[in-house]
Structure 1
Amino acid sequence: TVKVSYPIFKNALAVGIPGTKEKGLHMAVALALLAGKSEYGLEVLKDITSKDVLKAKEIIKRNIIDVTIARNIVGLYVEVEAFSNLGKTKVIIKDKHDNIVIVQRNDQVIFKKAEAEQQQVSLIQSMKKMRIRDFVEFADRVDIKLLDLVEKGIKMNKKIAEAGMASKYGKVLGNGLSVHDMDYKDYAKYLTSVASFARMSGYPLPVMSCAGSGNHGLTAILPVVAVGEKKRIDPDKLIRGVALSLLVTIYVKSFTGTLSPVCGCGVAAGVGASAGITYILGGSIEQIEGAIKNMIGTLAGIICDGGKPGCAFKLSVSVDAAIECAMMALNDVVISSDDGIVDETAEKTVYNLGKVSTEGMATTDEAIMGVMMGKCM
């Protein structure tokens, strides 16, 4: 039996399982039973074969897997119970996709991770106290050698983008243009959307995630890289810009939540990308803050209706907006604090976004799931 929160169910309903043409939680569970390897972490299914898929389909036909929604639970939550003649086990994952917080065998707790949960909460609270200025100063001053993880993320996400370019969807998403003929905006949209399409269709390559999401990682990294390549930005400056984008994305997510009813690629990673693009193009701290306010004032209402190949289109729209908002900010054109949820400071604007995304949209996921499940009946 598998119980998951609304956001997990929503994100797993239509997303491709890596290395297969299959979708859905029942298939993921069956494949994990057959060939899952926990030592691979988030790449737990990377060794599965076509024979495993056939065996998994047979398991599903036996109706031994029961998947339900864990109601009245907010955020990321997965509870799995397995039963056999030898007894039963129970495992709970919470807050992060790889954060196992409890393991039970025959109702006896054999592992508990309460302290780690407290550390996670503490980290989030610490992020909320930061300012955009702090992130910019960090990006400026940090020893470039300490950003090797960021450089690794750039290479990893560029690799899946290149795989997406080579797929049958590459030419379609690129409107028939070659990469060399694209301007910086078209290239940024193309690079990000083909990477997302490949990932969400189940292409067997890892991506560098951000704030718990692979698509967030693609959106926070690839647009900055694309603009940097086309504008021939110094490689070290580009890495620093990507680092800023990732930090701003995490900052926004600390207010909106790891999983939320709003599209984090647009209202978190897109915000980060806009800040990173403004940074690499020589923007001041005030202009970077302006880009953040422009993005939130533009894309705050875009909803998340689950992980799926169609996310590629949302990423493309987010990247387009991120570049436009950066360019406006670089010309000192910023949405007025009198407008909507945009406030006097970038930090207060992010706070307002979080309030709308959590308190204001408390039942949105349930409504979205009602629509999505209605199509399956």
Structure 2
Amino acid sequence: MLKIKSAPIKTLLFIGSLVISQTIYSGIKTGEPTSSLGQLNVGGAIRGKYVYDHDANPSSSKFSFSDAILALNYESATLIGGLDYRLYEYYGHIGDASWLTDAWLGYKINPNNKIIAGLNPVPFGLDRYWGNTFFLGIANVMGLEDVHNIGINYQFKTDKNQLSLAFYPIDGGNFRGHSKDARHFSINMVNADDYVENGTNTQEKNMIIARYAYSSNYADLNYQLGTSVWYSDIENKNYSSTGSRQVWSIFADFNYQSWNSKLLFGHQDIDNKDRLSPDHISLGGFDYSYNSATQGDFFSTEFSYLIPYHFEYAQSIRPYLNISGYINKKHSNTDSYRVIPGIAFKIKDLTIQAEHLIGKYDPYLGDQNGLAQGSNNN
């Protein structure tokens, strides 16, 4: 008989520093957006991290290089473009894992309409980021938050209305790393590595995404309400068949004076056409793969406060609490959660984030069984 063990809560203390010039993309600028040649902005960042793992035996602490980012942004009266390439140190040498995050070109149809094509962020949920955290929430592990695929994205925006309609025929592809099929920035469906138990071999294609958001205000309250949907084909390469992925979400973003709250709820249903493993699918990114439940509800909540005081050295001080989860609809007691209390602030050109990660059934906190999968023992 199959027994489900309760998962221990795993925690990780993270202190990360981001060395930049004011913002991650600032740097050398040439020209002006209104000139005939436009403006090119060349920038980037070098990031390091300090991690203290008090669940390790014995507990461990380490300061290390995180990544280096090269960023190019172009803007003229009618054309826009962006490129983002990142180098990591996973196996002892800088650059032993690296990949494109963005590589796209766009056209401004008019001040309210534009279209971009190439490797670009998928418009789903609250925005590219669903909160202020460095590590992001469970939705990132699901392949829904901060996803970048290859396709076309139409955007309409006014003061009150935002609409995005996008089509991505393929994911972002593979670059440099050691894994079979997870050598990329975004979390995508992959051919699982050999260490993944009962891994699947699928690829997501023909992704159709729509997102709408309405913004308004009432006295000191500014808010945004919206919804997004995602439909795609899932090619199962082991069985030469095609399934589907259907996802929807509703969300809200509230700003009241110095307070901010972000709320999102959604549902995912994946038919992976896998006879042996219909209840999970293998995902991967950052040169690492794992299994995830195919059907469930997910949520993301964050509360933050921008301290309205100016200090001599520290600026933009924002403490926050981010809570997210993925609720498995087919198997109880295997739900995944991630809780991140943290704080972000600037000291001149140095931006620092300190976070405490608390997770259950979280692949990126050491659970080898996967997302909303649980720890199974016969």
What TM-score do you get using the length of structure 1 for normalisation? Answer: 0.27
Structure ranking higher in strand proportion:
2
